[in-house]
């Protein structure tokens, strides 16, 4: 089932920079395998993440769209999509990538989300992946996200997990934890409190990305450029992880490690009706 999901996803899937993968597996395929094992990008089930379906009739906001992986999935599902970022060049790249996709509508948006230039109660799905760690006042940002959601709107939110961030603080250059990079670190309780204080009801919590938490720890000491992170240590780590995924109990080990030291934590929440 997972391999079938991966095959479906790879059709027109955007190429994104990822960690070096073993020679026998294209790097993008390898990243997608790990994501699919965590419940992401279920094309057959039309779920961006398990519990977060994207329907053709949905009006979706992907704020902080970055390189557009999540926007791409929503466009592929045929939804009307607003994709926004503070970086104009990123928005333009995503717009070019999404050309010709079967979305009902595509609306690029350059914004710092303070405030969002969108009508209140106008969106069915709101996606904010790895954004809150960058914003000056997370509670204000959340207030805007809640404002633009319809009653019953569903939210997919993620931030780096504090456990992996604690490791990165010891290894990453100081600039990594200064504006415009990570200026907020959220414990699991902090993250849940931020969501519930904004008035949302949490439906699901999930933790994922142990592979990437370790990869980034290795990356900093390899002193490589992110555009070409080719290094024996990173390659060997990718090979080790691929070998783990190939054995019958590999997925069970992955899920245990994801729970203990994930790269990220995600919450699916809903605005009350």
pLDDT score at 37? 87
Residue 57: domain span: 2-270
- Domain count for the chain: 1
pLDDT score at 186? 98
pLDDT score at 184? 98
212, burial (CB in 10 Å: exposed 0-12, middle 13-18, buried 19+):
buried
- CATH number, domain of 255, equals 3.40.50.150
pLDDT score at 16? 37
pLDDT score at 11? 42
* E-strand stretches of 77-148: 80-85, 105-110, 123-129
pLDDT score at 29? 52
Tokens representing 34 are 């790990």
- pLDDT, tens digit only, all 273 positions of the chain: 444 444 444 444 443 333 333 334 434 456 677 888 899 999 999 999 999 999 999 999 999 999 999 999 999 999 999 999 999 999 999 999 999 999 999 999 999 999 999 999 999 999 999 999 999 999 999 999 999 999 999 999 999 999 999 999 999 999 999 999 999 999 999 999 999 999 999 999 999 999 999 999 999 999 888 888 889 999 999 889 989 989 999 999 999 999 999 999 999 999 999
Closest CA to 38 of 6, 62, 66, 76: 6
pLDDT score at 30? 63
Query: 59-63 and 80-85: which strand pairing?
Result: parallel
pLDDT score at 14? 45
Query: 47-49 and 40-42: which strand pairing?
Result: antiparallel
Closest CA to 32 of 3, 64, 60: 3
């Amino acid at each position: 089932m997972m391999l079938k999901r991966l095959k479906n996803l790879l059709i027109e899937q955007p190429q994104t920079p990822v960690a070096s993968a073993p020679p026998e597996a294209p790097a993008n395929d390898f990243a997608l395998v790990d994501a699919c094992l965590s419940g992401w990008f279920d094309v057959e089930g039309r779920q961006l993440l398990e519990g977060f379906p994207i329907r053709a009739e949905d009006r979706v906001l992907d704020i902080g769209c970055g390189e557009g992986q999540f926007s791409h999935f929503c466009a592929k599902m045929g939804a009307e999509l607003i994709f926004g970022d503070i970086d104009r060049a990123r928005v333009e790249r995503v717009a070019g990538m999404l050309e010709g996709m079967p979305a009902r509508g595509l609306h690029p948006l350059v914004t710092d989300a303070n405030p969002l230039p969108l009508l209140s109660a106008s969106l069915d799905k709101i996606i904010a992946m790895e954004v809150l760690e960058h914003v000056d006042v997370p509670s204000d940002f959340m207030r805007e996200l809640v404002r633009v959601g319809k009653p019953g709107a569903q939210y997919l939110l993620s931030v780096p997990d504090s456990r992996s961030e604690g490791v990165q603080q010891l290894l990453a250059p100081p600039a990594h934890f200064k504006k415009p990079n990570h200026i907020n670190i959220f414990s699991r309780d902090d993250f849940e409190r931020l969501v519930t204080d904004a008035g949302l009801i949490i439906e699901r919590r999930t933790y994922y990305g142990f592979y990437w938490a370790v990869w980034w720890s290795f990356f900093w000491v390899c002193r490589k450029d992110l555009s070409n992170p080719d290094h024996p240590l990173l390659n060997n780590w990718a090979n080790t992880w691929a070998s783990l995924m190939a054995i019958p109990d590999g997925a069970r080990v992955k899920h245990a490690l994801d729970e203990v030291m994930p790269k990220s934590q995600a919450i699916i929440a809903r605005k009350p009706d």
